């Protein structure tokens, strides 16, 4: 593993609003801000016994209940968002006994339906894992039924006017699944000839793609006429939103700062180094056994109440993770990877039924929580340090920032500071402007004087015709000046 790590920055980021050089700061970006949309993608699948599958349907009802209540109370005035889908909640979270009883009535009415029982038994009988598109297909099939049950109970309790009652048939897909022995056919297809299984997978993919187009057309029509985004979310988009939110139960959000093991690729300089007008920061890593680290100062934790919380800061060692360039995503078993939930919620909402019987999916967690946690975090880092072979030219390493207890959604909470001694030098790009070089020189000279350093190195990048890559030479005279 290298001793030096390179971080390309634009002049705007280095000297502009964020003053990264002056503040000695490193920003950890949300993975959605990265250039590869497949960053951190996981191949999540669902496979479990009747306990966890029944609980997933119950959880679906629970998550549907809140946005329906908001819609019935405020219509289109309250802008429903995915955050209104309470995937981290449980039946113990209702504010009053009356609301808890209402949901209990909704749940009982839903599970008394023969078609729902058929769905649960059919899914439990599947011997191959169920992936996103297949799960979405099942949820779309039962969604109209769930929606009508929730609406009816709110109206029957006098919490919404009769005009909001769903009085037309929304069960076509559900009934077709039941009448055509869909699960029996699915099981034969996936466990029989591989070609049949491939055809079924393509059919589910096609169904998902058609659904995406229908949602787009519905939004286009709503933009053209009176917009109804809340109604569209509840009636058309909810299964899709639910699955996206559901995966938040597995792993925490993560953020990254990207580095390179070398900086001689012209394309990388062009993209990350502001078309060669930026600079490259050179960091010298600390060593610990076979790993390399850098010490950064940032928020350790929050203390106090939600309204008056105060951040505490401290120095932490961050490991440089090497990116593994391979095709394909790592598999995650959803029901056996619920790492973000506290144990009481895991038990009451997922791993136990109403008679107190425990799901087989909890076996590994209860057998050895330490071993389960170790494997859980191994899989977490495995998937966020993996990129397609298409990106191999970057030779990337990254620092990872995540937390199971702290909210890091605010960008300011994801900016950390390095010791000036960790910054070994700076490489000017081929097109770095002279006035920008002078500004950098001034800042670095002041820092060197304050820390009594005489070993800071400046380099100039250039194109080597002999080696056909970007190389650099040391600016020896500037080194003397900085001392």
At 148 the pLDDT is: 92
Give me 192's structure tokens.
Answer: 């029989």
Query: Residue 46 and residue 338: Cα distance in Å, rounded?
Result: 12
Partnered with residue 131 across adjacent β-strands are 45
- Shared domain for 160 and 109, answered yes or no, is yes
Segment 80-91, tens digit of pLDDT:
999 999 999 999
Question: Does the residue 16 lie in any domain?
Answer: yes
Place of tokens 């981290």: 88
In this predicted structure, the answer to whether residue 197 has a pLDDT above a threshold of 50 is no
Give me 68's structure tokens.
Answer: 């329906």
Question: Does the residue 363 lie in any domain?
Answer: no
Query: Residue 483 and residue 479: Cα distance in Å, rounded?
Result: 6
At 196 the pLDDT is: 47
In this predicted structure, the answer to whether residue 480 has a pLDDT above a threshold of 60 is no
At 152 the pLDDT is: 93
Give me 17's structure tokens.
Answer: 């609003």
Mean pLDDT, the chain, rounded, equals 87
- Shared domain for 163 and 25, answered yes or no, is no
Question: Does the residue 307 lie in any domain?
Answer: yes
| 449 exposure class (CB count in 10 Å sphere: 0-12, 13-18, 19+) | exposed
- Shared domain for 288 and 316, answered yes or no, is yes
At 124 the pLDDT is: 92
Return all residues near 392 (Cβ < 8 A) that are at least 6 apart: 325
Query: Residue 22 and residue 35: Cα distance in Å, rounded?
Result: 27
Query: Residue 50 and residue 360: Cα distance in Å, rounded?
Result: 10
pLDDT band at 11 (very low <50, low <70, confident <90, very high): very high
In this predicted structure, the answer to whether residue 202 has a pLDDT above a threshold of 70 is no
Query: Residue 395 and residue 259: Cα distance in Å, rounded?
Result: 9
Query: Residue 169 and residue 397: Cα distance in Å, rounded?
Result: 54
- Shared domain for 426 and 459, answered yes or no, is yes
- Shared domain for 275 and 160, answered yes or no, is no
pLDDT (mean) for 306-313: 66
Residue that is last in its domain, among 249, 267, 282: 249
Question: Does the residue 343 lie in any domain?
Answer: no
Tell me phi and psi for residue 145, to 5 degrees. Answer: -65, -45
Give me 442's structure tokens.
Answer: 């001034």
Cβ pair 253, 339 in contact under 8 A: no
- Shared domain for 94 and 106, answered yes or no, is yes
Residue that is last in its domain, among 201, 218, 249: 249
Give me 54's structure tokens.
Answer: 């029944």
Segment 266-277, tens digit of pLDDT:
999 999 999 999
Query: Residue 226 and residue 214: Cα distance in Å, rounded?
Result: 18
Segment 424-455, tens digit of pLDDT:
999 999 999 999 999 999 999 999 999 999 99
Longest dimension (CA), the chain: 84
Number of CB atoms found within 10 A of residue 354's CB: 11
- Shared domain for 241 and 262, answered yes or no, is no
Residue that is last in its domain, among 216, 233, 249: 249
In this predicted structure, the answer to whether residue 470 has a pLDDT above a threshold of 90 is yes
pLDDT band at 408 (very low <50, low <70, confident <90, very high): confident
In this predicted structure, the answer to whether residue 314 has a pLDDT above a threshold of 60 is yes
Q: Pick the more confident residue, 305 or 96.
A: 96
- Shared domain for 25 and 100, answered yes or no, is no
In this predicted structure, the answer to whether residue 216 has a pLDDT above a threshold of 70 is no
Segment 336-356, tens digit of pLDDT:
999 999 999 999 999 999 999
pLDDT (mean) for 301-316: 69
Q: How many residues does the chain have?
A: 483
Query: Residue 141 and residue 144: Cα distance in Å, rounded?
Result: 7
Segment 364-385, tens digit of pLDDT:
999 999 999 999 999 999 999 9
- Shared domain for 56 and 12, answered yes or no, is no
- Shared domain for 159 and 176, answered yes or no, is yes
3-state secondary structure the chain: CCCEEEEEECHHHHHCCCCHHHHCEEECEEHHHCCCCCCCCCEEEECCCHHHHHHHHHHHHHHHHHHHHHHHHHCCCCCCCHHHCCCCCCHHHCCCHHHHHHHHHHHHHHHCCHHHHHHHHHHHCCCCCEEHHHHHHHHHHHHHHHHHHHHHHHHHCCCCCHHHCCCCCCCHHHHHHHHCCHHHHHHHHHHCCHHHHHHHHHHHHHHHHHHHHHHHHHHHHHHHCCCCHHHHHHHHHHHHHHHHHHHHHCCCCEEEEEEECCCCCHHHHHHHCCCCCCEEEEEECEEECCEEEEEEEEEEEEECCCCCCEEEEEEEEEECEECEECCCCCEEEHHHCCCCCCHHHHHHHHHECCCCCECHHHHHHHHCHHHHHHHHHHHHHHHHCEECHHHHHHCEEEEEEECCCCCCCCHHHHEEEECHHHEEEEEECCCCCHHHHHHHHHHHHHHHHHHCCCCCEEEEEEEECCCCEEEEEECHHHHHHHC
Question: Does the residue 391 lie in any domain?
Answer: yes
At 236 the pLDDT is: 86
- Shared domain for 98 and 132, answered yes or no, is yes
Give me 36's structure tokens.
Answer: 């590869």
Question: Does the residue 105 lie in any domain?
Answer: yes
Question: Does the residue 226 lie in any domain?
Answer: yes
Number of CB atoms found within 10 A of residue 482's CB: 21
pLDDT (mean) for 243-265: 95
Domain hosting 158: range is: 47-249
Question: Does the residue 148 lie in any domain?
Answer: yes
Percent of the chain with pLDDT over 70: 85
Give me 200's structure tokens.
Answer: 């079924």
- Shared domain for 36 and 89, answered yes or no, is no
Percent of the chain with pLDDT over 90: 63
pTM of this prediction exceeds 0.75: yes
Integer-rounded Cα Rg, in Å, for the chain is 27
Count of domains for the chain? 2
């Amino acid at each position: 593993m290298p001793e030096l790590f390179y971080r390309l920055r634009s002049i705007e980021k280095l000297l502009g609003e964020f003053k990264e050089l002056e503040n000695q700061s490193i920003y950890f970006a949300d993975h959605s801000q990265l250039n590869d949309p497949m960053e951190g993608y996981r191949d999540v699948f669902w496979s479990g016994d009747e306990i966890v599958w029944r609980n997933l349907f119950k959880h679906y009802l629970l998550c549907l209940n809140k946005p329906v209540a908001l819609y019935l109370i405020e219509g289109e005035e309250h802008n429903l968002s995915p955050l209104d889908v309470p995937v981290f909640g449980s039946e113990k979270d209702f504010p009053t006994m009356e609301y808890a009883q209402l949901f209990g009535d909704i749940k009982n009415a839903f599970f008394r339906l023969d078609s729902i029982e058929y769905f649960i038994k059919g899914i439990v009988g599947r011997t191959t894992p169920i992936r996103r598109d297949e799960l979405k297909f099942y949820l779309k099939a039962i969604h109209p039924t769930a929606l009508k049950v929730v609406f009816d109970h709110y109206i029957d309790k006098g919490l919404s006017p009769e005009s909001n009652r769903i009085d037309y048939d929304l069960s076509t897909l559900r009934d077709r699944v039941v009448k055509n022995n869909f699960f029996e056919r699915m099981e034969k297809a996936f466990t029989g000839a591989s070609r049949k299984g491939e055809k079924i997978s393509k059919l589910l993919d096609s169904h998902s793609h058609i659904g995406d187009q229908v949602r787009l057309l519905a939004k286009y029509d709503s933009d053209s006429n009176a917009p109804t985004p809340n109604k569209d979310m509840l009636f058309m988009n909810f299964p899709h939103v639910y699955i996206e939110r559901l995966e938040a139960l597995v792993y925490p959000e993560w953020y990254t700062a990207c580095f390179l093991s070398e900086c001689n690729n012209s394309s990388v300089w062009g993209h990350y180094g502001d078309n060669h007008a930026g600079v490259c920061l050179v960091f010298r890593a600390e060593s610990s056994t076979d790993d390399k680290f850098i010490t950064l100062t940032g928020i350790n934790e929050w203390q106090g109440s939600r309204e008056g919380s105060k951040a505490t800061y401290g120095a932490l060692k961050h490991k440089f993770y090497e990116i593994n360039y391979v095709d394909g995503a790592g598999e995650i078993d959803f029901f056996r990877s619920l790492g973000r939930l506290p144990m009481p919620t895991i038990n009451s909402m997922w791993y136990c039924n109403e008679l107190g019987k425990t799901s087989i999916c909890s076996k590994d967690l209860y057998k050895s929580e330490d071993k389960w946690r170790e494997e859980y975090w191994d899989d977490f880092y495995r998937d966020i340090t993996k990129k397609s072979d298409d990106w191999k030219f970057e030779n990337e390493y990254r620092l990872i920032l995540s937390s199971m207890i702290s909210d890091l959604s605010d960008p300011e909470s994801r900016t950390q500071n390095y010791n000036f001694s960790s910054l070994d030098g700076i490489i000017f790009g081929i097109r770095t402007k002279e006035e920008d070089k002078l500004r950098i020189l001034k800042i670095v000279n002041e820092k060197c004087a304050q820390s009594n350093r005489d070993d800071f190195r400046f380099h100039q990048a250039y194109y080597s015709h002999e080696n056909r890559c970007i190389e650099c030479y040391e600016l020896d005279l500037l080194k003397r000046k900085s001392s």
